Structure 1
Amino acid sequence: MGNPLDSVINALAPQWGARRAGARQILSAYEAAKPSRTQKAKGSTLSGDLTAQIGGRSLREQARWLDENHDLVTGIFDRLEERVVGADGMGIEPIPLDTNGQRLRELSKAIKAEWAAWSLRPETTGEMTRPEMERLVVRSWLRDGEVLAQELRGRVPLYDHLTDVPYALECLEADYLPLHFNDPAQKIAAGIERNAWRRVKAYHVYKQHPGSLTNFAMATKRVPADSMIHLAHRKRLQQSRGISILHAVLQRLADLKDYEESERVAARIAAAMTMYIKKGEPHDYAVNSGKTDQGAGAALPPGQRAFQIAPGMVFDGLMPGEDVGTIQSNRPSALLDGFRGAMIRAAAAGTRMGYSTANRDYNGTYSAQRQELIEAQLGYDLLQGQFRDQWSRRVYRSWLDMAVIIGRIQLPPNLDRRTLYNAFYLGPVMPWIDPGREADAWEQLVAAGFADESEVARARGRNPQELKQSREDEIAENREKGLVFSSDAYHEFYGGKNGADPNGNPAGNGDSARARNRQLRQPADGQGGNRD
């Protein structure tokens, strides 16, 4: 028999009745959708933009507080800096090509030289080098959820460029972009102005940090989208503002900090031995006004007694009916280490970190450590790729445009202009746990043709061209001085002595060295090449 209420609703409002029936079917089809005594069936119906606007500021402030006060969180962000950009920042290896598809090495060298000079003072204050700036940008991006940088190109009123290439970055924390600046008439939401297709047109940012004591007016300025870099950690489609990478583990980390502090305090209390005197009868509690501190001779307030304790002493100062006891404590708890490790493991899973890295616990077999390192590296690579795509590539191309415009970099006539921006972006790579095994594996891959020498160099965080140039200079210097090492395969091939080749040419001659290299590559007697 049907529900009388449903019959009334179906007669008066058929569409409403249909929706009620559909919802009822869903609840019956999916058990998890049914609220129960143990299942609260919580849900979120807000858009990504509104969710970020409501909770973004609180999450950002909590993450900053933990970064400032919790050693574990500080270590997490330190390691994320190291694994995303590293000590040397994001490396750039230009690869421009000519119209025949050959690499223009001289142009690459010129670009790298100018890039290195600009990297010394890339931002407006002149206080940071590019690697230092990038590490702080990564930390702000992941901790606060987002970071911004205004690009200053060419002549800018009231600003003097600090480098030969007139291009600089004004790095801004997420606070500069107001979360609650909304103007539907201008299509502005959370400080970001968009068109009808949600393409960003401009950013409305504060002229000064809103937390500054001098920012009373809270005035904003409009910065076009092509002059602003917005690096955001988004979790949903059509989400304009970023969310801290700690958003899902903030409560766990805060609770863990409080729990550790409680255990530390309890351990300190337990370390201070506390004694008590137990008296048998009520009349034993009479005030002993004339008692003195035994052994000290100093008078005590009425009703108080004190005893000096020394190793090996014999105590015989109890009154009739009294007994001495100590307050026992089991702190720190024996379960502390296991509980803390479980909490850190869960926190690491929510921040793309490895447990061993977050907890600084590296116990385990080679296989287990390598498996964890590989899985953690996937998360680092994802963050590294996002930083490269949203920040490094845009900065490099904008800088290169300005360097070409002002003539700091001369483009050869045979350049294929489509390849001017070609470059490898080299970030930190996965470290080798067992260098011997890793080196043997790479050597086999190169010998079998499944990898090349450049790939091996990049896997170790080296620039292949710089590595080859360094090796060429090193070998030439060794031959000039008559030094022979196992890394110089030329001597093993020729069996030469004192750096002289079979024709008697000195090894230090650069032209003869290149001639010998060509000789090694030439086919012999119409057969295949001499290379192994």
Structure 2
Amino acid sequence: MSWLNNAIAQVSPKWALNREAARQSYDSIKGYEAAKASRTHKANKEARGANQAVFAAGKSLREQARWLDENHDLSIGILDRMEERVIGAQGIVVEPQPRDLEGNILDDLANELQRRFGNWSLKPDVTSRYSRPELERLALRTALRDGEVFGQHILGRVPKLIHPNEQGTPYSIEALEPDFVPFELNDVAKRIRQGLEVNAWGQVVNVHVLLDHPADKQGFRHKTKAIAKSKMLHLGLFKRLHQLRGISMFHGIMTRLGDIKDYEESERVAARISAALAFVIKRGSPDAYDVGGSKTQDIKFSPGMTTTLAPGEDIDTLESNRPNVHLVDFRNGQLKAAAAGTRGSYSSISRDYSGNYSSQRQELVEQDESNRIMQQWFCAGWSRPVFRNWLKMEQLNKVDPLILPDDLDINTLFDAVYYGPTMPWIDPRKEAQGWEAMIAGNAATEAEWARARGRNPAEVKRQRKREVEYNREHQMVTDNDPDPTLGESNSEETSTKQNASNNARRARRQQRADRAARDGESGN
């Protein structure tokens, strides 16, 4: 009650009660019902700022998520699937798109940049332990599990460091776990908050990094160095505006994952106990049981066995309701809820692929948009800055100098296309027919088709050209030759063989068309 009602209650409790009831009735009329706490609605609230909430819970959530990644199979599977769908085996594919002054792509320069970037990708980090795809998968896993990951651009010559790549490019990456940027480092006078120094507009200008991991027992544990934000990568999961530090992807499902783990462990133990139970021997009357003279009786089991019972004894089997027949349904329901909170798909997390083609494709289509969002997030925060810094330093490569053509539009030198794994195909025939129809209707390009399969369009064209030319040269022309007549020779013998091959190919095409027509009639 308000202070006025409290004062009135001292004189007339009934009057104060009526006033309070009237005030609550008025509040229920003028406001939203969900805004008021009641017996059935808790109306939990979060009034703190974004940085206050992360500061209070971020470190604990990060450590709990790491424990789940180390000990819980489902949590491990969620992160594994995100690695596969966002990064993939080949990492984020980068296709340089430099253009000339007329707007045409310079294929030779693009191919040369891609070759050099591929060579550098063998050893991109300062430790020389990871390839670029491995480093990207580790960076993504850290960002999802811990909420964020940091990386330092090591540009040019640095004391006591030899860049591990062997192509002479003076550029490497130092990947850092979020522990290196301490949550506890706050200085109001210097505008340092949770290890990040900001200006008056809220822009991060410096990142204060520990010289050693805080868990190390040796070294300068609490000494930090300020690194300019332009030299730092910071890939984080942000849920609110003005949020400086990221929050774990598991923040909304951590309790559910812990409950699933504990429940499954309890069910497994109960099933093991149930499997060890056999039967008990019952005596008809308590008077027939001699406590002092009783001994443990061991009975050996074998198929078709019988045993002799004493007078008044009877055998009773112990029945158990384990394994729980409802365990699978309950677990699957919990996994669907967990998948909804992680941008993951239920099928890939639970390994449950039951369902027809339409339902599976619908799930893939919906999941594909989530994958694209995560890929865009990763490319913007990690892959694009890495490629652009590499290309900037590649121009300083003295071992193998990069020669730029005279007709290059220098404003397009850093242009590139970034993409990760694409939506997998359930039925390749239907997918291929759909792409063929879109290309025939000028609604798509062959390059888009190649990228949809996770391939480089230029590389596909080169391989295709070599294959077609080889087949024509050796009279191995197949049905997929775009124009078999181009491979015909002037010699009469070769021409005869080619004509025979063409006739056989046309016959096979006609057979397939007739078979497809018969299948269509039978389907109708």
Shift of 1:27: 7.4
Name the structure 2 match of 1:438. Answer: 431
User: Among residues 71, 74, 82, which one is paired with 2:73 in the alignment?
Assistant: 71
Aligned residues: 475
Contact 2:214–2:221 (CA under 8 A) maintained in structure 1: no
Shift of 1:273: 2.6
Q: How does 1:61-210 map to 2 (within 5 A)?
A: 61-163=63-165, 164-210=168-214
TM norm structure 2? 0.87
Amino acid at match of 2:330: F
**Over residues 206-259 of structure 1, what are the superposed CA-to-partner deviations in whole Å (9 max), with x where a residue is unaligned?**
111112232563221111111110000111111000011111000001100110
Unaligned runs of 5+ in 1: 9-20, 290-301, 508-532
Shift of 1:25: 4.3
Comparing both structures, which one devotes a greater share of its residues to helix?
A: 2
Amino acid at match of 1:270: S
Matched, 1:329 2:320: yes
Amino acid at match of 2:159: P
Name the structure 1 match of 2:373. Answer: 382
Q: Could you say what secondary structure the match of 2:249 adopts?
A: coil
User: Among residues 219, 226, 236, which one is paired with 1:222 in the alignment?
Assistant: 226
Cα distance between partner residues in 1 of 2:188 and 2:24: 34
Shift of 1:347: 0.1
Change (3 A) 1:24 1:6: farther
Change (3 A) 1:234 1:455: same
User: Among residues 279, 300, 306, which one is paired with 1:308 in the alignment?
Assistant: 300
Cα distance between partner residues in 2 of 1:209 and 1:259: 35
Cα distance between partner residues in 1 of 2:285 and 2:488: 106
Change (3 A) 1:135 1:179: same
Cα distance between partner residues in 1 of 2:26 and 2:291: 76
Cα distance between partner residues in 2 of 1:272 and 1:403: 68
Matched, 1:485 2:490: no
Cα distance between partner residues in 1 of 2:415 and 2:149: 26
Amino acid at match of 1:486: D
Change (3 A) 1:125 1:333: same
Matched, 1:459 2:463: no
Q: Could you say what secondary structure the match of 2:79 adopts?
A: helix
**Over residues 360-404 of structure 1, what are the superposed CA-to-partner deviations in whole Å (9 max), with x where a residue is unaligned?**
101111111111111111111111100011111100000000001
Q: How does 1:333-352 map to 2 (within 5 A)?
A: 333-352=324-343
Contact 2:170–2:396 (CA under 8 A) maintained in structure 1: no
Matched, 1:473 2:473: no
Name the structure 1 match of 2:387. Answer: 396
Cα distance between partner residues in 2 of 1:416 and 1:356: 47
Cα distance between partner residues in 2 of 1:26 and 1:283: 70
Cα distance between partner residues in 1 of 2:84 and 2:28: 48
**Over residues 176-223 of structure 1, what are the superposed CA-to-partner deviations in whole Å (9 max), with x where a residue is unaligned?**
111111001100000000000011111111111112232563221111
Shift of 1:283: 3.3
Contact 1:192–1:203 (CA under 8 A) maintained in structure 2: yes
Change (3 A) 1:33 1:165: same
Amino acid at match of 2:150: L
Name the structure 1 match of 2:255. Answer: 251
Amino acid at match of 1:430: M
Q: Could you say what secondary structure the match of 2:158 adopts?
A: coil
Q: How does 1:499-518 map to 2 (within 5 A)?
A: 499-500=487-488
Name the structure 2 match of 1:513. Answer: none
Moved more, 270-279 or 156-165: 270-279
Matched, 1:425 2:418: yes
Contact 2:152–2:233 (CA under 8 A) maintained in structure 1: yes
Contact 2:210–2:221 (CA under 8 A) maintained in structure 1: no
Amino acid at match of 1:393: R
Name the structure 2 match of 1:33. Answer: 35
Cα distance between partner residues in 2 of 1:118 and 1:92: 13
TM norm structure 1? 0.85
Cα distance between partner residues in 2 of 1:462 and 1:287: 79
Contact 2:180–2:209 (CA under 8 A) maintained in structure 1: yes
Contact 1:165–1:402 (CA under 8 A) maintained in structure 2: yes
Change (3 A) 1:502 1:442: farther
Matched, 1:51 2:53: yes
Contact 2:283–2:312 (CA under 8 A) maintained in structure 1: yes
Name the structure 2 match of 1:517. Answer: none
Cα distance between partner residues in 1 of 2:456 and 2:3: 75
Shift of 1:4: 5.2
Cα distance between partner residues in 1 of 2:327 and 2:459: 50
**Over residues 73-102 of structure 1, what are the superposed CA-to-partner deviations in whole Å (9 max), with x where a residue is unaligned?**
111111100010100000111110011111
Contact 1:27–1:33 (CA under 8 A) maintained in structure 2: no
Shift of 1:271: 1.0
Name the structure 2 match of 1:405. Answer: 396
Amino acid at match of 1:443: E
Shift of 1:500: 2.7
Contact 1:26–1:33 (CA under 8 A) maintained in structure 2: no
Q: Could you say what secondary structure the match of 1:351 adopts?
A: coil
Q: Could you say what secondary structure the match of 1:193 adopts?
A: strand
Contact 1:279–1:323 (CA under 8 A) maintained in structure 2: yes
Q: Could you say what secondary structure the match of 1:186 adopts?
A: coil
- Computed over aligned residues only, the root mean square deviation of the Cα atoms, in angstroms, reads 2.3
Name the structure 2 match of 1:14. Answer: none
Q: Alignment identity in percent?
A: 46
